[in-house]
Amino acid sequence: MSGGIFSPLDNLCDLDNANCHPLVCYLCHEQYEHPCLLDCYHTFCASCLRGRATDSRLTCPLCGQQSVVKGSNGLPPVDRLLKFLVDSSADCEEVVQCANCDLECKKQDMEGMYYCNTCNQPLCSKCREDTHKAKMFTRHEIVSLVKRTKDIHKKCPLHEEPYIMFSTEKKSMLCINCFRDMQVESRAHCIDIETAYMQGCEKLDQAVMAVKELQTSTREAIILLKAMIEEVQSNVDEEETAINTLFNSMQEKLAERKKMLLKVAKSQHEEKEKAFKEQLSHLAALLPTLQVHLVTCSAFLSSANKSEFLDLGYQLMERLQKIVKLPHRLRPAQSSKINTEYRSEFARCLEPLLMLNQRRSASVTTGSAGPGINNSNVMVPLVTSLTVSGHAASSDMALASPVIRKPISHRYISTKVLLAEGGDTPFTEHCRNYEDTYKTLQVELQKLKDQVQELHRDLTKHHSLIKTDTMGDILQKSLQVDLQITSEYSSVETMRSMFEEIWEETYQRVANEQEIYEAQLHDLLQLKQENSYLTTITKQIAPYIRSIAKVKERLEPRLQEPQELLDDRTESMLKIYEDNAAPADTQHRNNLTCSNEDNREKITDNREKLDNRTLNILPEDPLMKAKDHYRTKQRNGMESPNRKELTA
C-alpha cells in the first residue's frame, strides 16, 4: 500500500502541472481502483485509505481535513462518478474482435464496428455486408457499436423497460412501470428524458463556470501569495540588515559614551577623594591640638592654686574659646555619591539613531493604531481602483497618503479645549483657521451626500426619472470640493516643519523640567538621609553630654537646677574620690599621670565606637576633673592647718 502524502506546490511553475490526470490517485500515482470520496471531496483508492481510520475518523492525506467513516471496513463511500469514468476509460482501451473474421479494433476507433443484439456478437463492416445480408439474418437487430455503448443504461434494471421519464425530486430515471408505481403527487416532478438532459446540461454548465471562476481566483491567489512570500523574504532580509546595522551603530555609540562616562566617574571620584582627604588631614591635625589642650586644662586645674588660676585661667579660657570658634569643617563638604546621569546620557546618544524626533512627528500624521500595529502590518491590495462615473479619483494628496486614517475620536474635544484655553500660540491660531475651513468643507460635502442619497432613493424606491444634468452638477461640485480639500491639505502640510521645530523645543523643555524635577527629589532624599545620620549621631552622644552636665552641676552648684536630680553614677564616683584622696604631692603627680593615661585610653575607645560620619567630639573626662578638683581641695585643706599653726 502506498502511503506517501501529496506535497503542495513548491514553485510557481507547478501551477501548470497542477492539472494532473483526474483518474490517477494522489497516493499511489496509479489509476483508481475502487475510488472512495472523502468529505473534503478528495478521492483516493480504497487500498490507499485502508487502515488509516482511527475512532471512525479518517484524515485526508492531502489537506488534513477529517472525514467521518461508517461501516466495519473503515472506508468512506465509493465515488460512483469517478468509478463510472474509470470503467468508461477501461472500456475505451479494450480491444473489440469481430466474431466472424477475428478483426481487432480498439473501442475508441469503433466507428466501423457493429453489434448484433440477436447474436450478441460484434461485427465488422465487411462481415455485416457479407454474412448478415442473407435472408435468414433479416430479423437480426444490428446497431452501431458506439450507439450500443451509449445506450447500455437505457433500460430499467428492475423492470427491464426503457427509461422514459426523469424525476427531478428523486434525481432518478423512471420506466413506465416505475412511473405508474409512483404517487400522484410525485408524478408532477417528472419530465421526459430529453428535457431533463437539456436542463441538466444547462445546470452543469453553470456549475462548471462557477468552478472555473473559483479555479481562476485560486490561481491568482496562489500567484499573489507566492509573490508576497518572496516580498516577505526580501523584507525580512532588509529588516535583518537594518537591525544588524543599527545594533552595531548602537554598540559603537554606547561604547564611546561608556568610555566618556567612566572618565567622568573617575574624575568625580578623584575630586571627591581629594576633597575628603584634605578635610581628613585637617581634622587629623586638629585632633591632637584638642587633646593637648584638654590635658593641659586638666593639669592646670590640678596643679594651680587660686591665685595661679586667676592669673592664667582666663588666658586658657580665651585660648579654648578661640580654638572652638575657628572655622573647622566638621561636616563633609560634598556628598559621597557619584552621579554621571548615565541613563539620560545613554538615551541622548541613542536618540539620533532611533530617530525619536522623526517618530514623534510621524505619529502626528499616521495616528495611533494601537500597540503592535504599524504600516507594515497592514496589507494594502496590489491593485486598487476607485472610479466615480468613469473618472479616476486620483490626486496629489491621494498619492502622498494612500491610506486614509480615521480621525481620532477625541480630536474635536481636544481642539475645543485648546481654543478655550485662550493661549496665543501659532498652533492655536492655526487651529482656529483650520476649524473654520474644515466646517465649510464639511457642510458642502454633507450637501452633496444628501443630494446623492435623495437621487438614489428616487432611483431605487420611487423609480422616477433623473436628469443627467443633475448628476453632472453633483460631479462638478464634487470635483471642486476635492480641489478645495487638496489645497487645504497642501497648506496644512507646509506648516509641518514650523510646528515640528516648536514641538521639538517643547519636548526639550519638558525633558529638562523632568530632569530638574528628578534632581530635586534626589536632593530631598539626600537631605533626609543626612538628617537621619544626624539623628543617629545625636542619640549616640546624648548620654555623654548628660553625664558631663551632671558633673558640671556638681562641681559648680550655681549652675545646678534645683529640680534636677543628680545622676547616681556621678554621685557614686564623687564619694569614691572623696574616700580615696591621697595626701602627698608626689602621689598627686603619679595619680595625675595615671589619670592622663586613662583619659587617653577612654578617648581612644570612644573614637573607635563612633561612626566615621559622626562628629569627633571629645568630651572632658568628668572623673578626672572631679578627681583633680578634690585633690586640690584636699591639698588646700592640708595647707590650711599649717598656715594656722604659723599664725599661732
413 vs 56: which has the higher pLDDT: 56
Parallel/antiparallel/unpaired status of strands 142-144 and 165-167:
unpaired
Residues 55-87: tens digit of each pLDDT: 778 888 888 888 888 877 778 888 877 777 777
Residue 353 pLDDT grade (very low, low, confident, very high; cuts 50, 70, 90): confident
Residues 284-323: tens digit of each pLDDT: 888 888 888 898 898 888 888 888 888 888 888 998 888 8
Q: CA angle, corner 472, sides to 471 and 477, nearest 5?
A: 100
CA gap 7, 26 in Å, rounded: 10
H runs (alpha helix) in 461-495: 468-494
**Range from 44-53, 343-352, 405-414, 471-480 carrying the lowest mean pLDDT:** 405-414
In order, the DSSP letters of 599-641 are HHHHHHHHHHHS-TTS----PPPHHHHHHHHHHHHHHHHHHHH
Q: What is the pLDDT at residue 186?
A: 85
- The type of residue at 414 is S
Q: What is the pLDDT at residue 395?
A: 38
Instruction: Give yes or no for residue 15 having a pLDDT over 70.
Output: no
Residue pair 397/489 in contact by the 8 Å Cβ criterion: yes
CA gap 205, 16 in Å, rounded: 24
CA gap 256, 321 in Å, rounded: 56
Residues 505-547: tens digit of each pLDDT: 888 888 888 888 888 888 888 888 888 888 888 888 888 888 8
By the 10 Å C-beta count (0-12 exposed, 13-18 middle, 19+ buried), 374 is classed as exposed
Q: What is the pLDDT at residue 64?
A: 83
Kindly report whether the global pTM for this prediction surpasses the value 0.75. no
How large is the average pLDDT for residues 631-647?
A: 44
Percent of the chain residues past pLDDT 70, beyond the cut: 67
Residue 44 pLDDT grade (very low, low, confident, very high; cuts 50, 70, 90): confident
Helix (H, G, I), strand (E, B) or coil at 269: helix
Question: Which residue's entry shows cell 566618556?
Answer: 260
Instruction: Give yes or no for residue 35 having a pLDDT over 80.
Output: yes
Q: What is the pLDDT at residue 244?
A: 94
> What is the per-residue burial (b if ≥16 Cβ within 10 Å, else e) of 206-216?
eeeeeeeeeee
Residue pair 320/297 in contact by the 8 Å Cβ criterion: yes
Instruction: Give yes or no for residue 18 having a pLDDT over 70.
Output: no
Percent of the chain residues past pLDDT 90, beyond the cut: 7
559 vs 122: which has the higher pLDDT: 122
Residue pair 98/123 in contact by the 8 Å Cβ criterion: yes
Q: Which CATH number fits domain 1-93: 3.40.50.720, 3.30.40.10, 3.40.30.10, 3.40.50.1100?
A: 3.30.40.10
How large is the average pLDDT for residues 379-390?
A: 35
CA gap 197, 561 in Å, rounded: 133
Q: What is the pLDDT at residue 472?
A: 80
Residues 564-590: tens digit of each pLDDT: 444 454 455 445 445 544 444 444 444
CB atoms inside a 10 Å sphere around CB 30? 13
Assigned C-alpha cell, 332: 563633609
Assigned C-alpha cell, 627: 578627681
H or E element that contains 174: strand 172-174
